[in-house]
Amino acid sequence: MRTAVIGLGWAGRSIWLPRLAADPAFAVTAVVDPDPGARAAAVEAHPAASAFATVEELDTALVDLAVVAVPNHLHCDVACAVLGKGIPVFLEKPVCLTSAEAQRLATAERAGGAVLLAGSAARYRADIQALHGLAGSLGRIRHVDIAWVRARGIPGAGGWFTDRGLAGGGALVDLGWHLFDVVGPLIGGTDFVQVIGTVSDDFIASGTWNAGWRGDAPAAAAPPGDVEDTARGFLVNGDGVSVSLRVSWGSHEALDGTVVKVEGSAGTATLRCTFGFSPNRAGDSELTCLRAGEAAPVALPAEPIGTEYDRQLAALPALLADPGNRGRAIDETTRTIAAIERIYASAGVVRTLMQTPAPVAAGR
């Protein structure tokens, strides 16, 4: 499958180009980035690839699939342009930043006749797949607790990641997308009738909470940014299933960790692991099932960090070949971004209330 990688930042360079080169089902035939240095480095590593500065220059005769890994604010524009050329798109998360962008992507997918696939690898983890398999034995699902908390993991401080206009949000947009990807199959989707949330930014101003493992070099004297480093939400769907969600780029924890706890009428399953590429990990994944006071461990296969991305890449040819997948990713995306927007809206209301002076009682 002749593949173009559009966007040669950290995700394009570190996640997708090496995996595409290592998988015999793919051939990197094009790279696209406005930075001439990034293009030159990519072509040096992938000599068979043609290099382009813009998507408009991309030759459709060279490409069967485009992997889009540009900064968040460009996701919708770039994906729509590529879909308009009739090229299938694998779009990194967050797939879009607003519900209006989701509708633009849906229109572009229909008009171009090519399928849009969403890049969120969490559901391809072996431990998450084991949890999803176990959930069927838990009876009726009542509640899910899900959290991804980094000790120190603010990405690209001083760059676009911490600029709301470019990133669309902070930890909720960045990490929360993966958590919604996990929750959806457990509770039958991410349609919610009630959503409340709050955000905070206690850690983002301090350089000591940066994600140093990314190799980012913060700009000198850069402002701390205007996004949240932590978001918390409580959501309820139409079947009465509740979800408690927390994401944090920074915290007082010693290690990064992810916890998914699924409570059902016939038992509770708890997965403790660490999502992502950070080396500051909480240890091997552990899955336990609790029934009537008796906890039993569930065996999990050991896998190297990032295996979920290998697994997701291996699944792409079959997903692209199935006409039933057209529209599926955008349907899920529409629900996910709606939930994220409602958490931000709720958090905005709370902040407004906190900043509004209390009324003065009559006679005082």
User: The pTM is what?
Assistant: 0.92
Domains present along the chain, CATH in parentheses: 2-119 (3.40.50.720), 122-309 (3.30.360.10)
Which pLDDT belongs to residue 120? Answer: 84
Buried b (16+ CB within 10 A) or exposed e, 145-180: bbbbbbbbbbbbbbbbbbbbebbbbbbbbbbbbbbb
Contact yes or no for 97/72 (Cβ under 8 A): yes
- The answer, yes or no, to whether residue 364 has pLDDT greater than 50, is no
Which range (48-52, 117-121, 176-180, 193-197) has the least confidence?
117-121
What integer is the mean pLDDT of 127-141? 97
Lay out the sheet containing 50-52: strands in order across.
50-52, 27-32, 2-6, 65-68, 89-92, 116-119
Characterize the bridge pairing of strands 257-264 and 242-248. unpaired
Where do we find the tokens 């916890």? 259
Phi first, then psi, for residue 256 (nearest 5°) are -80, 140
What integer is the mean pLDDT of 255-268? 98
Segment 97-127, tens digit of pLDDT: 999 999 999 999 999 899 999 988 999 999 9
**Residue 212: pLDDT band by 50, 70, 90 thresholds?**
confident
| CA atoms of 163 and 268, how far apart (whole Å) | 39
